Amino acid sequence: MTVSPTVVWAAFSMALSSVVALGANIICNKIPGMAPKQRAICRSRPDAIVSIGEGAKLGLTECQYQFRFMRWNCSTLDSNDSMFGYESLGGTKEAAFIYAMTSAGVSYAITQSCGLGSLPNCGCDKDKGDGKLAPQGWKWGGCSADIKHGLRLARKFMDAREIAQNARSLMNLHNNRAGRKAVKDNMGTDCKCHGVSGSCTMKTCWTTLPPFRKIGDSLKKRYKKSKIVVPYLGRRARTAVTLILKRAKRPHRKPRRSHLVYLDKSPNYCDFDGKTGSLGTVGRKCNRTTKDTDGCDLMCCGRGYNTHQYTRTWQCNCKFHWCCYVNCNKCSERTEEYTCK
- Residues in the site for ligand NAG, rule: CB under 6 A? 64, 73, 75, 79-80, 279, 281, 283-284, 287, 289-290
Rounded to 10°, the helix 167-185/93-115 angle is 40
Which residue's CB is nearer to ligand NAG, number 261 or number 299? 299
CB of 7 to ligand NAG, least distance (A): 50
The Cα 88–Cα 74 span in angstroms is 12
Q: Which residues pair with 203 in a beta bridge?
A: 193
Write down the least CB distance from residue 341 to ligand NAG, Å.
12
DSSP 196-207: GGG--SEEEEEE
Q: DSSP states of 2-58 as a string?
A: ---HHHHHHHHHHHHHHHHHHHHHHHHHHSTT--HHHHHHHHH-GGGHHHHHHHHHH
Distance, CA of 209 to CA of 204 (rounded, Å): 17
Secondary structure of residue 238 in the 3-state scheme:
coil
Nearest approach in angstroms of CB 32 to ligand NAG is 9
Query: In this complex, which beta carbon is closest to ligand NAG, that of residue 80 or of residue 317?
Result: 80
Name the residue nearer to ligand NAG (CB basis): 73 or 118.
73
CB of 336 to ligand NAG, least distance (A): 9
- In whole angstroms, the minimum distance from the beta carbon of 280 to ligand NAG comes to 6
Cα 265 to Cα 284: distance, rounded to the nearest angstrom:
23
Please state, in angstroms and rounded to a whole number, the distance separating the CA atoms of residues 249 and 247: 7
In the complex with ligand NAG, which residue's Cβ is closer, 73 or 242? 73
Residue 128 · residue 146 · CB < 8 Å: no
Measured from the CB atom, the residue of 4 and 289 that comes closer to ligand NAG is 289
- Smallest separation (angstroms) from ligand NAG to the CB of 281: 6
Measured from the CB atom, is 74 or 178 closer to ligand NAG?
A: 74
